[in-house]
Amino acid sequence: MNQKKSQQLFAKAQNFLPGGVNSPVRAFGAVGGTPPFIESAKGARVFDADNNEFIDFVASWGPMILGHAHPAIISAVQKTAENGMSFGAPTSLEIELASRVVNAVPSIEKVRFVNSGTEATMSAIRLARGFTGRTKILKFAGCYHGHSDLLLAQAGSGIATFGLPDTPGVPAGAVEETLTAPYNDLDAVKEVYEKFPGEIAAIILEPVAANMGVILPKDGFLQGLRRLSTQHGSLLIFDEVITGFRLGLGGAQAHFDVMPDLTCLGKIIGGGMPVGAYGGRAEIMGHIAPEGPVYQAGTLSGNPLAMAAGIAMLDELAKAGVYEQLDFLGEKLATGIGEAAEAAGIPVQQSRVASLLGMFFCESPVNDYAGAKNSNTARFGEFFHAMLENGIYLAPSQFEACFVSLAHTEEDIEAMIAAAKKVMQTL
């Protein structure tokens, strides 16, 4: 595969950008080599500076669930941009998108838009502390909730990829109120509550962990967290930045029928534009300024371009048959990858829910961060580069997810499976 231009661009970028990138995983540090510099994308394909074409299973880390450059979203953004790109003032588009979010997500009665998933989780934590009058937060090892100081304790995603400590630049005081437990371990959560009675403001987690690879909640885990948080007067926060509108219009909470007190959203609700949101019961959301005393603000929050893109996105996702098609394609891909690994005699653990997939090169089932870290990351790196050579664009880290979009055809899925069969035989 020719990468001459990408190599030149990467070398030039390192003169101006730390590591040559604006987000660490893009530098290919976990797999080695040069990242392709993408110039355009359409449907299920991305095209790089060297005119290489790839079938894309990264989907901009999830939000391109309709595929790239979807006509409805492009039209909405173009039309809105003609009237101005930012006002720092209310617009009717905010109301339109908010009403769609409230109507779709079961636990949300009111919502506040922000600019990223990091802002959403950071703000939800502040709100939980302000509402409960408590300071401690319980999170799970390997769950990533953005890069705010208080949540970079045993985080996944880039932290897992690069094996960074928890983490340079974050003072000990910033995380001293952040407690951690293993994902899928209710007994550990009970022990934390016993050790800190009446002190925990909230539990925050990804209902499906998708930043230490994809790890599904065990039966009863989410239900147990709901029960324990209620029993101890804590809030339950679902970080649905990845699962929101990915597992269905109602997100993971509707899929698993477990209602959190607060929900964090991002990615998909912006249709590819920078956006995030947090929402929940009106009683809790009423504590946010200007209605209440908990302060949070942002000049670009509710940006009209992001709102227009989000409206178009959610309207498309509300159409009949959308999630059935995504589930069909996701199941077809998971089955094919499993068969390819089995035929090659390669131990692979797979996880899937709807169109969100993960795989680990290891022999034992993966239920938590410790299990994820035992996977063969070197083998994943070999697999990743061989798939790239065969025209398949995957996330450049064992600890990320694979996303299927509505733009993928059955032929695209079959091409991915065929490439996997070929590559698995060489590992």
The C-alpha angle 163, 4, 22, rounded to 5 degrees, equals 40
Question: Active site includes 12?
Answer: no
Q: How far apart are CA 237 and CA 260, in angstroms?
A: 6
Question: Active site includes 267?
Answer: yes
Beta bridge partners of 353: 356
Pick the catalytic residue from 136, 139, 183, 239: 239
Residue 266 half-sphere exposure, CB side, CA atoms within 13 Å?
25
* Phi, then psi, of 225 in degrees rounded to 5: -65, -40
Pick the catalytic residue from 110, 136, 139, 267: 267
Q: How far apart are CA 231 and CA 259, in angstroms?
A: 15
Q: How far apart are CA 249 and CA 256, in angstroms?
A: 13
Tokens of 71: 């006509």
Question: Active site includes 239?
Answer: yes
* DSSP E strand boundaries for 189-299: 200-205, 235-239, 262-266, 276-280
Pick the closest to residue 166 from 146, 151, 179, 177 (CA basis): 151
Measured CA to CA in angstroms, residue 260 lies from 184, 230, 251 at distances of 17, 10, 11
Q: Any idea what DSSP says for residue 167?
A: -
Measured CA to CA in angstroms, residue 25 lies from 60, 94, 161 at distances of 12, 32, 8
Kind plus residue range of the DSSP H or E element containing 123? helix 117-132
Pick the catalytic residue from 48, 110, 139, 144: 144
Tell me the catalytic residues.
144, 239, 267
